[in-house]
């Protein structure tokens, strides 16, 4: 990162962070949109806020079973595929907005790009072939 300011990405162990992380892992197209350190930070910041608001709206609009110790109200809401899809759609919207922001246009992505991956695969084929 050189001369740029130090980038700090907090670790979130709260329910919303876990939900965002799990759904992000299930939908790799989201990661492809936000693959630089600054984009990841912006994405996580706004995704946590917007998913939290969405979950709050869903809680107000939909009844959840009385708490019996087996699952949280968030887990109960997300059991409904429509609610889970709404959260995924919100995550994708945040990722698309961050990816389209011109302030992040020159950010380098984390990890190798597709060309570097292909070069490595070719090298591995030659070495192991």
**Which pTM was predicted?**
0.71
Residue 113 confidence (pLDDT) above 70: no
Least confident of 20-24, 48-52, 59-63, 121-125: 121-125
Is residue 32, in this structure, part of any structural domain at all? Answer: yes
Q: How far apart are CA 89 and CA 44, in angstroms?
A: 15
- Is 22 inside any structural domain? yes
- Cα(16)–Cα(87) distance, rounded to whole angstroms? 11
Q: Supply the pLDDT for residue 112.
A: 65
Q: Which domain holds residue 109?
A: 15-128
Nearest-angstrom CA–CA distance, 97 and 88? 14
**5, part of any domain:** no
Domain count, the chain: 1
Average model confidence (pLDDT) across the chain: 84
Per the domain annotation, does 48 fall within a domain? Answer: yes
Confidence of residue 5 (pLDDT cuts 50, 70, 90): low
Helix axes 15-26, 37-61, angle to 10 degrees: 110
| Residue 125: strand, helix, or coil | helix
Range with the poorest average pLDDT among 59-63, 89-93, 95-99, 106-110: 106-110
When pLDDT is averaged across residues 108-119 and rounded to a whole number, the result is 70
Residue 6 lies in a domain: no
Structure tokens at 48: 């946590």
Identify the pLDDT of residue 17.
Answer: 86
Question: Is it the case that residue 84 has pLDDT exceeding 70?
Answer: yes
Question: Is residue 26 domain-resident?
Answer: yes
User: Any idea which residue has 């246009």 for tokens?
Assistant: 105
Residue 70 within any structural domain of the chain: yes
Helix ranges (H only) for 2-80 are: 15-26, 28-33, 37-61, 73-78
On whether residue 3 sits in a domain, the answer given is no
- Alpha-carbon distance of 91 to 88, in angstroms, equals 5
Identify the residue with better confidence: 110 or 2.
Answer: 110
| R_g of the chain, CA atoms, integer Å | 18
> What pLDDT score was predicted for residue 97?
94
CB 49 within 8 Å of CB 91: no
């Amino acid at each position: 990162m050189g001369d740029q300011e130090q980038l700090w990405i907090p670790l979130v162990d709260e329910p919303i962070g876990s939900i965002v992380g799990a759904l992000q892992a299930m939908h790799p197209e989201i990661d492809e949109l936000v693959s630089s350190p600054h984009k990841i930070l912006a994405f996580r910041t706004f995704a946590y806020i917007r998913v939290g608001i969405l979950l709050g709206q869903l809680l107000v609009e939909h009844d959840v079973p009385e708490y019996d110790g087996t699952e949280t109200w968030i887990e109960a809401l997300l059991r409904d595929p429509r609610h889970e899809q709404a959260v995924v759609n919100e995550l994708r919207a945040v990722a698309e907005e961050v990816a389209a922001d011109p302030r992040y246009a020159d950010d380098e992505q984390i990890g190798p790009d597709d060309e570097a991956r292909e070069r490595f695969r070719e090298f591995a084929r030659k070495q192991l072939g």
